[in-house]
Structure 1
Amino acid sequence: MRTFLVTRFAALLVLAGSLSPAYAQVRPTPTDTTKKYENPGGIPALVKAPWYKSKVFRAVAIPAVLLTYGAITAQGNAGINQSAREFTQKQFRPVSSGFDNTLIIAPYFELAAVAIAGVESRDDRINTLLIIAKGEAIMLASTYAVKYLSGETRPNGSDALSFPSGHTAQAFLAASIVHTEFRDKSQWYGVGAYTIATSVAALRMINDKHWQSDVVAGAGFGILSAHLAYLSHRNRWGRKPIGRDVGMSPAYFGNGTPGMTISWRPSH
């Protein structure tokens, strides 16, 4: 009996020894920890927007088309310019040049009137004034540089500063700022401002001061100047919002002279 038990125990040991290598071969696969901390929160990676949706492309696309058309058709008294001039002279009679000289800043009056009415603009009033100043500087420098470089003669022959139209550039600069500041409130503010700007361009042709190519390019310069002013502007210059508590209202002084009063209430 004892010999039988010893024999069975030895057999069990041999069996266990033969099975142990099989268990030793089954090992867990080590976990790859090389990318453990690349995205610990599981947040999906940002997808880069297509180039045609970038701010820069949207800012320069329309002005680039207008400037290209104006440059290609700037042929003085030849081609499409002459045809447009003849059509305009047949359909319209010249008006006082003082009218289009005043109308170029009419979009700014719209901007002031809407602000006085209490409609909140995109930027506070101080930053809006800074953007206007920057846009005006860009527009004046670019348009007058091109005027002197191009040397295009006006339709009426008065001088060689025809291309591009500075009046049109000024009007479209102001209209673009009005549109940008109030487009989140209503698109009609921009529609009104651009209608005024387009009227200025038409009047410059009706008064025989500019060719068609001049006013189209002028519109491009004005819109581009506004867009560049916004793209290069650091809103609020890193400070808290300012200018929301600045108020403007019309006033009449004792001698009957009209004017404007400015009030400021500091916020706590």
Structure 2
Amino acid sequence: MRSQLFSFLTSFFLLTASIGPAFAQVPTAPPAATDTTKKYANPGGVSSAVKAPWYKSKLVKAVAIPAVLITYGAITAQGDAGVNQRNREFVQKQFRPVSTGFDNTLIIAPYFELAAVALAGVESRNDRINTLLIIAKGEAIMLASTFAVKYLAKETRPDGSDNLSFPSGHTAQAFLAASIVHTEFRDKSQWYGIGAYTIATSVAALRMINDKHWQSDVVAGAGFGILSAHLAYLSHRNRWGRKSIGRDVGLSPTYFGNGTPGMTISWRPTK
């Protein structure tokens, strides 16, 4: 019995040994060729960023608030009728007219704030050359847009002096300057922008108190000013880098002769 079992096992192992190499030598199918047609499409293997919806774009964010203000001003621009007349009567009952020379000067007060804060050594968002370029661009956009609309709208002023009431250029100028101050220093403190916008709002109020503009004029003017600043920033490319171009600034009184005093500003750029 043992001899028969030994013979069976011996035969089994011999059969396995003879069949095993046969299976081992069976050729396997070659691997499928790798698709290399798009190997350079994303070499880093980084997933492409998901595109933000259109309503979250920089342009929409920049235009949204000014568009609301301008639209409201255009809808309510009815001259001596409706909400304009009611607000004019309210303002005349509550306030007396102020010298127009005051609001003519106050429109550029935010720029004085911008200069004072910069001279104090507070770093702005852009260096001084680029800030001046943005101001120049914003002024050009604001003047072109507001005066074009003035001549197209031909809205008569409350005091009847002319038909260039809509929109308020003084208000547009003040809010343009305030928006630039806010953008340049909002990373340092929100109070700089609050102060500038307070000045701009005061200009709008004075234009109504002095009976030079309707409510619709100043609301739309604020929209044109803010929009001009936003477009100036969106279209600007920083061409001189973001490094400081100098903080060695000094002010000194000067006498120019013939009884004319003045002020001299000295500035030396850093290397």
CA contact (8 A) 2:119 2:247 kept: no
Q: Is the 8 A contact 1:165 1:217 kept in 2?
A: yes
Partner of 1:33: 35
User: 1:162-241 maps to which residues of 2 (within 5 A)?
Assistant: 162-235=165-238, 237=239, 239-241=240-242
What is the 5 A alignment of 1:82-93?
Answer: 82-93=85-96
* Stretches of structure 2 lacking an aligned partner (at least 5 in a row): 1-10
Structure 1 contact 250–258 (Cα < 8 Å) conserved: no
Q: 2:246: which partner in 1?
A: 245
Counterpart secondary structure, 1:252? strand
Higher mean C-alpha deviation, range 119-128 or range 51-60:
51-60
Determine if contact 2:245/2:270 at 8 Å carries over to the other structure. Answer: no
> Do the aligned residues in 2 keep the contact of 1:248 with 1:260 (CA within 8 Å)?
no
TM-score w.r.t. the length of structure 2 is: 0.85
* 1:248–1:262 contact (8 Å) kept in structure 2: yes
* Equivalent of 1:154 in 136, 152, 157: 157
Aligned-partner SS, 1:253: strand
Contact 2:157 2:165 in 1 (8 A): yes
Counting only pairs closer than 5 Å after superposition, residues 22-61 of structure 1 correspond to structure 2 as 24=26, 27=29, 30=32, 32-34=34-36, 35-61=38-64
Cα RMSD (Å):
2.7
Cα distance change, pair 84–42 in 1 and its aligned pair in 2 (3 A): same
Please report the TM-score for the alignment, with normalisation by the length of structure 1: 0.86
2: CA distance, partners of 1:36 / 1:224? 45
Alignment pair present for 1:81 and 2:123 = no
Q: Equivalents in 1 of 2:228, 2:91: separation in Å?
A: 28
In structure 2, relative to structure 1, the CA distance for the partners of 1:257 and 1:86 (3 Å cut) is same
**Structure 1 segments unaligned to the other structure (5+ residues):** 1-7
Letter in 1 for 2:268: W
CA offset at residue 102 of structure 1? 0.6
Q: How does 1:4-153 map to 2 (within 5 A)?
A: 16=19, 20=22, 24=26, 27=29, 30=32, 32-34=34-36, 35-153=38-156
Distance (Å, rounded) in 2 between the aligned partners of 1:250 and 1:65: 42
The 3 A distance-change label for structure 1 pair 127 and 247 is farther
What is the aligned residue count? 257
- Indicate how the Cα distance of structure 1 residues 64 and 240 shifts in structure 2: closer, same or farther if over 3 A, else same: closer
Tell whether the 8 Å contact from 1:169 to 1:223 is kept in structure 2 after alignment: yes
8 Å CA contact retained: 1:246, 1:262: no
In the TM superposition, residue 230 of structure 1 has moved relative to its aligned partner by 0.9
With 48-57 and 136-145 compared, the bigger mean Cα shift is at 48-57
Relative distance call for 1:79 and 1:25 in structure 2 (3 A) is farther
- Runs of 4 or more, structure 1, over 6 Å off, are none
One-letter amino acid matched to 2:269: R
The CA deviation string for residues 132-166 of structure 1, in whole angstroms up to 9 with x for no partner, is 11111111111111111110000011100000000
- Contact persistence 1:176–1:194 (CA under 8 A): yes
Aligned match of 2:4:
none
Letter aligned with residue 52 of structure 2:
A
Letter in 2 for 1:169: A
Q: Distance in 2 between matches of 1:78 and 1:100?
A: 26
